[in-house]
Amino acid sequence: MCPPTHFAVRYAINQWMDPTRGADAAVAVAQWQTLHDTYRQLGHRVDLIDPDPDLADMVFAANGGLVVTGRMFGASFAHRQRRREAELHRRRFAAARDFTATPGADIGIPTHVNEGEGDFLVVGELILAASGFRTDPAAHGEVADFFGRLVVSLRLHDPRFYHLDTAVAVLDDHTIAYYPDAFTADSRRVLEELFPDAIIACADDALVLGLNAVSDGRNVLVPTGTTHLVPALRERGFHPIEIDLSELLKAGGSVKCATMELHR
Which residues are annotated as catalytic?
163, 257
Q: Are 154 and 187 in contact (CB under 8 A)?
A: yes
Burial of 245 (0-12, 13-18, 19+ CB in 10 A): buried
Integer Cα distance of 242 and 221 in angstroms: 6
Tell me how far CA of residue 16 lies from CA of 20, 81, 108, 213, 252, in angstroms: 12, 16, 31, 17, 5
Residue 1 CB coordination number (10 Å): 18
Query: Considering only CA atoms, which of 169, 176, 164 is closest in space to residue 211?
Result: 169
Torsion over CA: 187, 212, 171, 44 (sign): positive
